[in-house]
Each structure stands twice: as structure tokens, then as C-alpha cells.
Amino acid sequence: MVVLSKIYTRTGDDGTTALGSGRRVAKYDLRVEAYGTLDETNAAIGLARLHTRNSAPELDAMLARIQNDLFDLGADLCFPDETRDARGRLQVSDTQVKRLESEIDALNRELQPLRSFVLPGGTPAASFLHLARTISRRAERLVVALAARPDEPVGAPALHYINRLSDFLFVAARFANDKGKSDVTWVPGENR
């Protein structure tokens, strides 16, 4: 359980922050960038949920689970390799990845196949889900870059989860666009 009785500590005044192991690193460290970008993704999902809470309760429940999963993923990433085998350490699981895949499939069954690329937009919920999708893609690039470092391994379920997340958010945005009926589609060369 997390207990936060004091919010500021002044320990980061020198431009460093503590990883889950306690080791201090620069605030621009790639690991910190990766889980910080997950936090941005989570905030964008929170904005989308302002619009799904009443209009799409099933989708909203999925988004709530994902927000919690993103904290699990952040907890997984905040531990560097030297603590990879620590007992009790929270790590993303294959079960979480499989649940995300089944939710993608369930939402996608409700949608017509695409005949063009979709532009970010439509309903407010869809617009925020597209924003969350693009932020999650940036997070994925950072996590993959972190995993490519020989001294900074990232667990396979974490890599799989962040890869599936942008797919989920894309399908969820289409679902929030009246099951794709309000999608804004790309018209190649329309404004030449």
C-alpha cells in the first residue's frame, strides 16, 4: 500500500529522482521518460472518461481498468534491472495483455471495416482517445528504446501491453465515434 503524507521532499531539487530501487537518476533518464509518458497517456485517458462515463459505461469500465494497468506498468518500469528479480515487485502480466486483446476484439466486432485512414476527431471522447493513442505510441517508442539497452531490460509482458494499448485506443476511439459512423476519414489529396 502507498502512503503519501508529504507531497514535496526537496530531494529532486538537484534534478534527480528516485527509481523504485531507491537509486537516484537524472529526471531526463530514459526510464523516467518512459514511465512519465505513461502518466501522460493516463491523463489523456482520464479526459476521455469525462465523456464516456455516462454515454458508454462498458467502454468506460475498460478505460478504468487500463488506467489502473498503466500504474502497474509504471511500477514495473520504475524498477531497474538490479531489482528485476525482487520478491513482491509488481510486474505487468500476460493476463493483462490477453484481457486487452479480448477487449480490442470485442469493440472491433461492433465496427465496420475501414476503407480509409481515420483522422483524429469526431466526438469529444474519440478525440481524447486519439490523443491518448498518440501519447501511448510515444511511450511505446521510449519503452522499446529502453528495452534495447543491454543494461536496461524490460519484461516481455510490459512490451506487449504497451504495443497493444495504442491498438485498443484506436479501436476505442472508433467505438466512441458512434461505432465508427462519426469517424473523420482521410481523403488523399483532397486539398491540392
pTM of the model: 0.91
pLDDT digits (tens, 9 = 90+) for 50-75: 999 999 999 999 999 999 999 999 99
Half-sphere exposure of 58 (CA within 13 A, CB side): 8
pLDDT at 65: 98
pLDDT digits (tens, 9 = 90+) for 118-137: 999 999 999 999 999 999 99
Q: How confident is the model at residue 9 (pLDDT cuts 50, 70, 90)?
A: confident
Nearest-angstrom CA–CA distance, 33 and 164 = 20
Asked if residues 157 and 92 have their Cβ atoms less than 8 Å apart, the reply is: yes
Joined together, the cell numbers standing for residue 34 give 518512459
Mean pLDDT, the chain, integer: 91
